[in-house]
Every structure is written in structure tokens, then in C-alpha cells.
Structure 1
Amino acid sequence: MHGVKRLRLTPQAAETKRLKELSKIESYLAIEQDVLSRKRVKDYSDEALGRTTRLLDLNPEFYTIWNYRRTILLSLFPSLSPEDITSHLISDLRLTTSYLLVHPKVYWIWNHRKWCLESVPHGPGESQKWREDFWKGELKLIEKMLEADARNFHAWDYRRYVLSSLPLARPKTEELKYTQTKIEANFSNFSAWHCRTKVLSAIWAERNATPEEVKKAKDKEFELVTQALWTDPGDQSGWLYHRWLVGQEPPLDTLRREIRNIQDLHEAEPESKWCVNALAHYTLLLARHPSTGEDEAMRLRGEAKRLFTILEKVDPHRRARHRDMAAQCT
């Protein structure tokens, strides 16, 4: 780190440090060899389960060991009562919780949690109660993790999984409010915007919404995303959501309105590549709209070509793509 004086180790201290690190490596390799040997001979004992815990404590990204651990548990379950199976699963949920606090973006940990939840015994009584409590606990865990890192897409993906698995479905309008809270706290939260597209689509499908109802709902969403675009026109998240709202076959009045709004933003932020990119894309959409006459379409294609030429300068990393797009505007 800058400004922090680096301490020099004496030769003796450096050697001590080296030997300590070497000892850790040797210890890890010994545990790894032991566990992999047990896996090869199909050792599915409680002792083998404990050894996988030791290895995963050192390396929770070792997906082969997660697979082996599940195989061990599945071999043990037939001889256990539902209560004992539940106890094992609770232990593994606690184990993965401790790992996620340090490694919140490791797929294999999240996958093992899913497996645990899906393995809770079915049936009446205590096991069913545990099953319901598990899912509620998962939702609370996800909310805490998103408080720590609101843009962790692993947590957002897992949240959708949990919500779809709750014994009692949570109203989708509540999830819509949740995503808005996260978005308003940070407009660059791409995962929250993405989740919002899924929730809105599900609501419209569930209600069998008419095109007019969808358009009305989208108009409200345009108000939200416009705040994001004006707040930080250089952030991609809001622009992607805006493009999703516009769609590939937008109503003519919506398309013209959004082009005018973005033109206003372009005047204020002429160097915003995402602003110019959106204008070029929507101008082409307008040129291809069935109600657009040929003369107007030709003029719009010329304007789109001009915008892609501007993009070659403000977005040089994608110069070749913008040049190709400009060539297609003729």
C-alpha cells in the first residue's frame, strides 16, 4: 500500500516464515491426498465426511470434494431417521454459511445449499416444519448478504431460486418494491435491474396483462430508469434496462418520446457513449417501424450512421463494431 513503510525481515525471520508456509502446504496436500484416496475406494463413512470438512475448511472451492460429500451423505441417509437427516442438513447449511461470509461468490457453496434444502425429508410433523423454516431462513440470509454487497449476482440468482421455492409464495409486488429499494440506493446495481425485468415479466404473465396494461406499467418504469440515466449516464446498468423496456417492437409514441428524452441528455452529456449508442439504436428502430415512410426512414438511417460515426470516436474500443453498424445504415 502507498504510504505504508514496508518492514524488512531478517534472514532468520524470513526462513521461519518460509518453513511455516511450507508446513501449511504439506499439511494441506496430506489432507487432500487422504480425502481423494477415500473417494477412490468409495469410503462413505462418518469419518470420511469429517475429513471432507477439514479439506473444505482449507479450500471451499474444491468442487470435487463437494460432490464427494453429497455422495457420502446420500449413502448415510437410508439408515437415519428424518430427524437425523435434518440434523445433518442443518449442519451443512451452517457450514456453508460460514464459507459464504468469506467466499460469497463461489458457485459450489451456493449449489450445496440448494442441494441441502432440496434434500430435507418430506412429510408431516417436525421435518415439514423444518422444511418451511429452512426456506424462510434462506431469505433472511440472502437479505443480509445483499446488505453487505448489493451487487452480488450469485446472491441475486439464489434469491430468485429461494422465492420460487417458498412453501407459501411471496407476493411478486413485494419483490418489486425490494428491487426498487436496492436500485434507488445504487443506480448501478445491474443485478437489481435484471431481477426487476424477471419480476415484471412474471407479474404481467400472471395477470395476463393486455398490451395497453404493459405499456402503462412500462411508462412508470421509464420514469425510474430516467432518473438513473441522468444521475450517471456513464453507467451501463440503466441503459440495458432502458433497452429492455423499449423492446424490439415498441409503440411509436413511446419510441419517439424516449428518443427526444435521450437527445436532451445527449446535449448535456455529449461524450456519453451509452447515450449515443442508445440514440443510434432507437433511431434505427424508428427507421424500421412499419408506420415510418421511406423518405423519413432514409433520413433516419442517415442520422443513425452519423451517430455510429461519433461512437467510433467516443468508444474507440468498439470502433470496428460501430464502423460495421454504420455501414449497415445505408
Structure 2
Amino acid sequence: MHNVKRTRQSPEALAETKLREKSKIDEYLTLTDDVLSRKKPDWSKDAFQLTQSLLQINPEFYTVWNYRRNILLNGIFPQSTPEEINNLLSNELSMTTAALKAHPKVYWIWNHRSWCLENVPDGPERNGTPSIEWRQANWDKELFVVERMLDADARNFHAWNYRRYVLANMPTRRNETSELTYTSRKIGANFSNFSAWHQRSKSLVVLWESGQLDPVQSKDEEFELVSNALYTDPDDQSAWIYHRWLIGSGENKEQLEREIQVITELLQEQPDSKWSMESLVHYKRLLLQHHSPDSKALKRECVELLSRLMDLDPIRYFRYRDLTRDLDY
């Protein structure tokens, strides 16, 4: 790192550091050999403990995660009661929670958690019917855990993907309006949170398709929300992508013209806003495509914007040039 004074280690200290590193490598290699060199399947608790020791050193060793699950399925679960299995899986979830704190983006840890949840047994019978008590408790706790992960890193796309998985598979589904509230909070904290915008779009589609939310009114509210984001940071692409998703194929002429006016006013305030210019070109081309195919004024406006973009963003010069040619102006 720059401007950080380096401390020179003595030859003795360097030798001691190398010795510690060699000791860790030797331990890891020994553990790996113990786990993988067995001649026949070993589903014992000793083997189970060895996998844990190895995964604490290297949580990306997916073969060992697979082996650990096989030990549970073939060696431990058959000798356990449903309550004991539930406790074992709860311990697995606790173990991987600790692992995620150090390695929040290791796919195999998230994958093991989902496997654990999917194998939680039914709870004690209620009136002759197996209850979902244990499963619901574990899934509820899982949603809490993933929310804490997103509090620590609101852009962790692994955690967002996992959150969608949890919400889709909970024994008792949550209302999608609660997810809108959650994404509102995340977006309010940081307009640049692409994953939160994406999650919001998924929830809205469900609410629209199920008739729980009026598409026309709610879209107007969404445009107001995203416009605040655009004016706050016009250089961030997250809100622009969401805005383009809201516009869709551009069949609503009134909506298109209204949003074009909003972005035009933004461009007047921020004359070098590349995203404003690109969006105006895109939306005006949608007007040409669906509503005013012969408008020379619209074509001229697009060409002028593309010309400014060629100067402002020379890396994409040929893209803008090809768009200009497509306008046949």
C-alpha cells in the first residue's frame, strides 16, 4: 500500500513465519489425504468431523461438501430420530453461518445451506398430521440470517439470489408487499444497489400478475421513485436500467413522452450525463418505432444526441455511428 511504512523483519522472524505457513500447508495436505484417500465409503462420525476441519481451512472444496452430505444421508441420518436430524441440520446451518462471515461469496457454502433446509424433516404430528413447525422455524431463521448478510454488504449478489430462493421455498410464503417494503429500505439507503432494484422488479411482477397491485398506479409511483434516484446520481446505471425496465417495449405513448420530458429536464441540469442522452435516444427510437415512424423531428433529435455521445464517449463511437445510420436520416 502507498504511504505505509514497511516494517523490516529479521531473518529469524521471517524463518518463523515460513515455518508457520509450512505447518498450515502440511496440516491441510494431511487432512485432504485423510478425507480423500479412503478405499471404501466411510460414513462414520470421525469422517464427518474430518470434513469439518478441512472445510474450515478451504470452504471452496466442493468435493468435501458433497462427501459431508453423503455422510449425513448414508451414515448419520439412518441412525437418528427426526428430532435429532433437525438438530443436526440446525448445527450445520450454524456452522455455515460462521463460515459465511469470513467467506460471504463462496457459492458452496450457500449451496450447503439450501441442502440443509430442503432436508429438514416434518415436525411432531398435530391431530394426526405432520406439522411444518421445524421447517418453518428454520426457513424463518434463514431469512433473518440473509438479511443480516445484506446489512453487512447490501450488494452481495449471492445473498440476494439466496434471498429469492428462501422467499420462493418457505413453507408459509410471505406477502410480496413486504418485499417491496424491504427493497424500498435498501434502495433508500443506496440508490446504486442494482440487486435491490432487480429484486423489486421481481416482486412487482408477482403483485401485478396476481392482481394484488394495480399496474398503472403502481408504475407511476415507481417512476417517481426511480426519478429521485436518477436526479440524485445521474451517472449510476442501476436506476437507469430499472427505468428502462419500467418503460418496457414503449407501447404506452403518454408514458414515454412524459419520461422523455423528465429526462430532458435532467439533461439540462447535467449536460454531460451520458446515461440521460443514451436513454433519450432509446426512448425516442421507441416513439419512432411504435407511434411516429415518419417524424423527422424525432430522428433529428436522436442524431444530435448521438453526435454528442460520439464526442463524450469515444470508446463507443462506432456503436453510436451505427445507431445514427439505422435512423436513415
- Scaled by the length of structure 1, what TM-score is found? 0.92
2:137 alignment partner in structure 1: 133
Q: CA deviation at 1:310?
A: 2.2
Identity score, percent: 51
| AA of the residue aligned to 2:251 | P
Distance 2:319 2:70 in 1: 49
Q: Is the 8 A contact 1:272 1:314 kept in 2?
A: no
1:159 alignment partner in structure 2: 163
Distance 2:222 2:108 in 1: 35
Q: Is the 8 A contact 1:120 1:127 kept in 2?
A: no
Distance 2:83 2:226 in 1: 49
Check 1:272–1:71 CA distance in 2 against 1; reply closer, same or farther (3 A cut): same
Distance 2:99 2:212 in 1: 42
Task: For residue 124 of structure 1, give the secondary structure of its aligned residue in structure 2.
Answer: strand
- Scaled by the length of structure 2, what TM-score is found? 0.93
Distance 1:14 1:303 in 2: 67
* 1:84 corresponds to 2:84: yes
2:256 alignment partner in structure 1: 255
1:174 alignment partner in structure 2: 178
Runs of 4+ aligned structure 1 residues displaced above 4 Å come to none
2:52 alignment partner in structure 1: 53
Q: Is the 8 A contact 1:175 1:199 kept in 2?
A: yes
Give the CA RMSD over aligned residues: 1.8
1:326 alignment partner in structure 2: 324
- Equivalent positions of 1:13-52 (< 5 A) are 13-38=13-38, 41-52=40-51
* 1:269 corresponds to 2:303: no
| AA of the residue aligned to 2:143 | L
Q: CA deviation at 1:274?
A: 1.1
Between 229-238 and 270-279, report the one with greater CA deviation. 270-279
Deviations 1:248-274 (A, max 9, x none): 133101000111110111111121211
- Equivalent positions of 1:1-330 (< 5 A) are 1-38=1-38, 41-76=40-75, 77-122=77-122, 124-125=124-125, 128-207=132-211, 213-289=214-290, 291-294=291-294, 296=295, 298-330=296-328
Q: Is the 8 A contact 2:303 2:324 kept in 1?
A: yes
Q: Is the 8 A contact 1:86 1:120 kept in 2?
A: yes
| AA of the residue aligned to 1:265 | L
Distance 2:21 2:66 in 1: 29
| Uncovered stretches (5+) of structure 2, i.e. residues with no partner | none
| Uncovered stretches (5+) of structure 1, i.e. residues with no partner | none
Q: CA deviation at 1:214?
A: 1.5
Distance 2:5 2:58 in 1: 32
Distance 2:280 2:24 in 1: 57
Q: CA deviation at 1:325?
A: 2.3
